């Protein structure tokens, strides 16, 4: 077994031989994990936006003419079985007018003198969270139903974000992939430089009968340390940044929150794995050379 | 202990470093490989340490055929064999202590054992006052002694030495040879390659090589 004291001495020696390189590697690790955190928060916010009622998650379907109660009931049952629909609520003309009064104010001159039957009967259709990105497909299907005269879905900024949820997830996945590859590459280069700098040492140890574990354990642990320290710093940064945002923009309460302990652990493990992967690649490359 | 059977080593397809060499070295024996430069002494030692493989023939170390052995087993053989390299192979950036202790670290010995053993061995070769100096700052003789102590600190079964006194003056050469004599007394099997005639010790078996062939004993 390779003794910890030996590994500590070798890592300390390696860092002292190239202090700026080590510092830059650490900064790169910190920066990469920060970027991953930003991606995580963006996807998370988009996911929450998709769940806010009145955006893409709710569609209004206005009915034609004066449908009978039995027609309304059968239509409601028909809508309920459509893909992506989680709930269908009937809103009568009277209820619609009531809502309008609440929205515009009952004293509003626009409402004054209006016929109580002026608005059409309607269905408020709640879309399943997993379907919010495909709300346009659902609206197309609704328009093809003969009893339905018009279909509306109000999209604001949040609606836009919610609508782009799937694109954001895809972009987030892609950016994460690039960041992970970059992180592994930075560690690969850093450890490779470390190995090249200490080639004489490795050659001598190899000649003396050192196993691969003894030869390369210090480099693996050094890489894991970069990942560990970088992700701890990134967690602290994420924690401070969310704290600052919540203090400055209280409306964000419930939308973003500081990373919890599970997220921090996941971040640390993930960063360490990426770093170690880079180091393993560098070692394999050095052995091949 | 060490058996070579019909060993040949060819470089670049046609340059013979060794031609059909057969040797049998018994446990506890001390052998000098003698011959001019290019006789094949270093190649022979490299084959015994599995730094190179023979083009034909077999090399047995402690009854194990090391020809074509895998990395793990080769390292196992090396851990129990000492080698004083011609260019010493010291790690110049490391201290005398670290250079000496490294083989014990590889063998996984405890810190207390390593400290005690290193101190004792450095005292034996007169380097105890240089323990924390960089190996790169030592004189030629001191470096030679350090290389010797590193190769024997773990009590190897076999000690191989390639021109251990080649670059030293006569007095220092005699001093190092005296150390080899003391090691021989301890029962270590030794094979020492040297092109110089002067440090021959009467206890040793002398194998003469020329142009890759054993020409006499």
- Indicate which CATH number applies to the domain containing B158: 3.40.50.300
Q: Answer whether A15 touches B (CB < 8 Å).
A: no
Q: Which residue of B has its CA nearest to A16?
A: B93
pLDDT in tens, B23-48: 999 988 989 898 888 888 999 999 99
Q: Which domain holds residue B91?
A: 26-53+75-216
Q: Let me know if residue B136 belongs to a domain.
A: yes
What chain A holds in terms of domains, given with CATH numbers, is 4-47+172-288 (no CATH), 58-154 (3.30.70.3040)
Q: Let me know if residue B65 belongs to a domain.
A: no
CB contact under 8 Å between A201 and B78, yes or no, is no
CB contact under 8 Å between A9 and B98, yes or no, is yes
Q: Let me know if residue B209 belongs to a domain.
A: yes
**pTM reported for the whole predicted model:** 0.71
Q: Which residue of B has its CA nearest to A2?
A: B108
Share of residues in chain B with pLDDT > 70 (%): 97
Q: Let me know if residue B21 belongs to a domain.
A: no
Domains: count for chain B: 1
Q: Let me know if residue B70 belongs to a domain.
A: no
pLDDT in tens, chain B (217 residues): 889 999 999 988 888 889 999 999 998 898 989 888 888 899 999 999 999 999 999 999 988 888 878 888 899 999 989 999 988 999 998 999 999 999 999 998 988 999 999 999 999 888 999 999 999 999 888 998 899 999 999 989 899 999 888 777 777 778 888 888 888 888 889 999 987 665 556 678 889 998 888 887 7
Q: Which residue of A has its CA nearest to B110?
A: A3
Q: Let me know if residue B60 belongs to a domain.
A: no
- ipTM of model over 0.90: no
Residue A137, number of CB atoms within 10 A of its CB: 12
């Amino acid at each position: 077994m390779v003794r910890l004291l030996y590994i500590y001495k070798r890592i300390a020696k390696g860092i002292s031989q190239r202090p700026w390189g080590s510092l830059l590697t650490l900064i790169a690790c910190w920066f990469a994990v920060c970027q991953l955190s930003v991606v995580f928060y963006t996807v998370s916010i988009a996911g929450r936006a998709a769940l806010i009622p009145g955006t893409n998650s709710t569609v209004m379907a206005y009915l034609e003419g004066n449908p009978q109660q039995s027609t309304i009931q059968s239509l409601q049952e028909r809508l309920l079985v459509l893909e992506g629909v989680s709930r269908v609520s009937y809103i009568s003309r009277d209820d619609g007018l009531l809502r309008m009064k609440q929205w515009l104010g009952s004293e509003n001159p626009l409402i004054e003198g209006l016929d109580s039957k002026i608005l059409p009967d309607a269905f408020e259709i709640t879309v399943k969270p997993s379907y919010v990105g495909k709300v346009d497909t659902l609206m197309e299907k609704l328009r093809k139903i003969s009893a339905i005269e018009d279909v509306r879905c109000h999209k604001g900024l949040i609606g836009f974000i919610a609508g782009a949820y799937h694109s954001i997830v895809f972009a987030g996945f892609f950016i994460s992939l690039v960041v992970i590859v970059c992180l592994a590459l930075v560690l690969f280069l850093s450890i490779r430089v470390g190995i090249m700098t200490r080639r004489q040492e490795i050659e001598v140890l190899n000649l003396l009968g050192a196993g691969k574990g003894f030869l390369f354990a210090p480099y693996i642990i050094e890489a894991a340390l970069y990942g560990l320290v970088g992700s701890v710093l990134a967690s602290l940064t994420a924690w401070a940044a969310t704290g600052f945002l919540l203090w400055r923009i209280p409306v964000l309460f419930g939308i973003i929150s500081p990373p919890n302990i599970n997220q921090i652990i996941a971040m640390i493990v993930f960063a360490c794995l990426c770093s170690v992967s880079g180091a393993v690649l560098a070692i394999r490359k050095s052995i091949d050379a | 202990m060490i058996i070579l059977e019909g060993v040949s080593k060819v470089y670049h397809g046609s340059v013979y470093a060794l031609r059909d060499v057969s040797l049998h070295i018994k446990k506890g024996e001390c052998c000098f490989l003698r011959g001019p430069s290019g006789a094949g002494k270093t190649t022979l030692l490299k084959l015994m340490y599995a730094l190179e493989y023979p083009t034909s023939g077999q090399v047995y170390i402690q009854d194990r055929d090391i020809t074509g052995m895998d990395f793990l087993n080769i390292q196992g053989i090396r851990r129990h064999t000492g080698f004083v390299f011609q260019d010493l192979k010291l790690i110049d950036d490391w201290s005398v202590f670290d250079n000496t202790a490294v083989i014990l670290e590889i063998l996984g010995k405890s810190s207390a054992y390593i400290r005690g053993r290193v101190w004792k061995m450095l005292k034996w070769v007169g380097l105890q006052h240089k323990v924390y100096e960089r190996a790169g700052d030592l004189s030629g003789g001191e470096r030679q002694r350090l290389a010797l102590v590193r190769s024997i600190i773990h009590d190897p079964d076999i000690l191989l030495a390639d021109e251990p006194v080649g670059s030293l003056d006569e007095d220092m050469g005699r001093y190092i040879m005296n150390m080899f004599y003391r090691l021989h007394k301890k029962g270590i099997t030794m094979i020492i390659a040297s092109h110089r005639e002067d440090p021959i010790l009467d206890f040793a078996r002398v194998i003469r090589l020329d142009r890759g062939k054993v020409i006499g004993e």
